Chain A
Amino acid sequence: MQLGTEGYSPATLRKVLHATARDSFQQASVDLAALAGLTISSSHLQRLALRFGSEWAAHRDAEVQAFQQKKLRVAYRAAPQVASVMLDGGRLQTRADDAGSGVSDPQWREFKAASLETLRSQVQTADPQPQPPGRYRDRQQVARLAAELKAARGGAAAPSGGRRRRSRRRSRRRLPRPRKVVRTVVATLADSERFGWQVAAEVHRRGLHKAGRKACVCDGQKYNWSIWQMHLVMLGFVPILDFLHLLVYLYAAAGAAEGKGSDAAWVLYEAWLALAWSGRVGALLKALRVVGERLGKPPAQAKEDDPRRVVWEAVGYVEGNRDKMRYPQYRRLGLPISSAGVESVIKQLNRRVKGTEKFWAEGGAEALLQVRAAYLSEDGRFERYGEMPRPRGRAVGGGRLGRT
């Protein structure tokens, strides 16, 4: 009957995992009682979620091993039209594993996440959007975007408020942008090498390497491009520097050069934005360097917000990624130019694993990331994992094997 030793039917366990993937164990316990009539304590839910998460992590590792041995099967027959792999990192707090109850040795740890998407888009003969979209030319929106991305990098909560509602008319207008079909998520606390193999195995399992057009979209983080170089470049994935991160660098540099929030800074930002959007990287670099030379080189001990440092960081960012900034060509090919997909995934993972009161043991964090990643994946991973044979574990809860 494919029953585990937990004392719950498979359908009940699916509900349990769904609830624990969505919210804290305490809230899941309340939700299950109210919505499904299931009375399960929060600590018991935690044991169940971590047990399943650990099993799924082991299954993922087995898939990676099979992939390394060239034995992993492609799970989809039809090749997708367009595929994208987006990589990024988030942060959560850990505590010492063997220190008993309470929080000992709290630390921030980075987890890595990938959003693997199949997309639908058309190849165009000319750039379908030669001008930057309105939201990148809206002072309020750009300031909010810059603050959000900066907060995401620093581990702080993103600022809220100030979001302007789109007008109905505008939201109805469909620009020829790539549209997501199916997304799956890979998330782990492992190092970038192991993460790279996990992403490569998922790309293979989903047959994304067979797509007609494919892209790898990331910010300038070095390990992202190492993963692309090791696993994706030979599969034909086009490297694309995330436009949102570039925009934030340009906005910060313009503010540093002309005064944050000033009209002159906005004019300078708009000029740089136009150059970046049209893929004129040489001209952009030249313009940035002119400003950099005017301010001078930053001293070694310059503060993080020193204008000279901010501008030269932007120069370095553009210089280091200039071969991944052919945006008109990417738009013509119907490829995504922003990593908004993985930014959204990070936000959704954070919502479950990050919080001022959440401190995870390493194994627990890895297990819960698997449960949350399965919840965020749109390929029926919950059901697929549910059908797999499971290792026999100890019974969870007392008296479940008792005689009556």
Chain B
Amino acid sequence: MNDTPPPDRDELRRRFLAEAATAFDLMFDKHLASDLVTFDQREQRALDLGQQLVLALLQQHANHDPAADPDAQQQPCCPRCHRPGRRVTPPGQPLPARRLTTCAGEVRLRRARYRCTTCRVVFFPPG
């Protein structure tokens, strides 16, 4: 298990709203207004800012999943032989990240890592 407890829902909400507020400010910043003259410039800025929010939302939601870091009683099974795997990520260590390309960009999924000694594969919990 990771020593640092995962942030609760309220904390995630606060973080997301802070990011949304930053996005809003960047869109409506008076000093940056000269960059947003044509519709194309405005559309591009809104899309970029929106994309950052989509990524933040997606990453937070996926990493907040309890299955990302199962407790010691739960042993995820190997996707090949379906036998319980052995945990590789030591307790207290940060969970390794897996890069995932989505339609909005790249997110980092943090998941505990497991190994199947029979199939000799490393895998992440399925949740």
Question: A349 → chain B, closest Cβ, in Å?
Answer: 28
- Does B12 lie at the interface of the complex (its beta carbon under 8 Å from any beta carbon of A)? no
Q: Which single member of A12, A36, A401 contacts B98 (CB below 8 Å)? A: A401
Chain A 63-80 per-residue mask, 1 if CB under 8 angstroms from chain B, else 0: 000000000000000000
Q: Which single member of B96, B98, B103 contacts A11 (CB below 8 Å)? A: B103
Q: Which residues of A contact B102 (CB under 8 A)?
A: 8-9, 11-12
Q: Which single member of A7, A15, A404 contacts B103 (CB below 8 Å)? A: A15
Q: How many Å lie between the Cα of A11 and that of B58 in the bound state?
A: 13
- Does B70 lie at the interface of the complex (its beta carbon under 8 Å from any beta carbon of A)? no
Known A-B contacts A7-B100, A12-B102, A400-B98; the reply to A1 vs B126 at CB < 8 A is yes
Chain B 97-127 per-residue mask, 1 if CB under 8 angstroms from chain A, else 0: 1111111010010000000000001110011
Chain A 9-20 per-residue mask, 1 if CB under 8 angstroms from chain B, else 0: 101100100000
Is the beta-carbon distance between B79 and A392 smaller than 8 angstroms?
Answer: yes
Q: How many Å lie between the Cα of A9 and that of B100 in the bound state?
A: 7
Is the beta-carbon distance between A404 and B108 smaller than 8 angstroms?
Answer: yes
- Interfacial residues of chain A within 373-404, with CB under 8 A of chain B in the complex: 392, 399-404
Q: Which residues of B contact A401 (CB under 8 A)?
A: 98, 122
Question: B69 → chain A, closest Cβ, in Å?
Answer: 14
Q: Which residues of A contact B1 (CB under 8 A)?
A: none
Question: A77 → chain B, closest Cβ, in Å?
Answer: 32
- Does B62 lie at the interface of the complex (its beta carbon under 8 Å from any beta carbon of A)? yes
- Does B80 lie at the interface of the complex (its beta carbon under 8 Å from any beta carbon of A)? yes
Is the beta-carbon distance between A9 and B98 smaller than 8 angstroms?
Answer: no
- Interfacial residues of chain A within 1-46, with CB under 8 A of chain B in the complex: 1, 3, 7-9, 11-12, 15, 36-38
Question: A87 → chain B, closest Cβ, in Å?
Answer: 38
Question: A225 → chain B, closest Cβ, in Å?
Answer: 45
Q: Is the interface of B mostly helix, strand, loop or mixed?
A: strand
Question: A3 → chain B, closest Cβ, in Å?
Answer: 7
Smallest CB gap from A37: residue in B: B105
Smallest CB gap from B107: residue in A: A9
Q: Which single member of A1, A9, A402, A403 contacts B101 (CB below 8 Å)? A: A9
Q: Which single member of B62, B105, B108 contacts A1 (CB below 8 Å)? A: B62
Question: A266 → chain B, closest Cβ, in Å?
Answer: 57
Known A-B contacts A1-B62, A392-B80; the reply to A38 vs B97 at CB < 8 A is no
Is the beta-carbon distance between B97 and A404 smaller than 8 angstroms?
Answer: yes
Q: Which single member of A1, A9, A402 contacts B127 (CB below 8 Å)? A: A1
Q: Which residues of A contact B99 (CB under 8 A)?
A: 7, 399-400, 402
- Interfacial residues of chain B within 61-117, with CB under 8 A of chain A in the complex: 62, 79-80, 96-103, 105, 108
Is the beta-carbon distance between A38 and B101 smaller than 8 angstroms?
Answer: yes
Question: B45 → chain A, closest Cβ, in Å?
Answer: 15
**Can you show 10 pairs from A to B with CB atoms below 8 A apart?**
A7-B98, A7-B100, A12-B101, A12-B102, A36-B103, A392-B123, A399-B99, A400-B98, A400-B99, A404-B96
With A3-B100, A12-B101, A392-B79 already in contact, 8 other A-B pairs whose C-beta atoms are closer than 8 Å: A7-B98, A7-B101, A8-B101, A8-B102, A11-B103, A36-B103, A392-B80, A392-B121
* Chain B residues close to A by CB (< 8 Å): 62, 79-80, 96-103, 105, 108, 121-123, 126-127
| A-B CB proximity, top 7 nearest | A9-B102, A403-B96, A392-B79, A404-B97, A8-B101, A11-B103, A12-B103
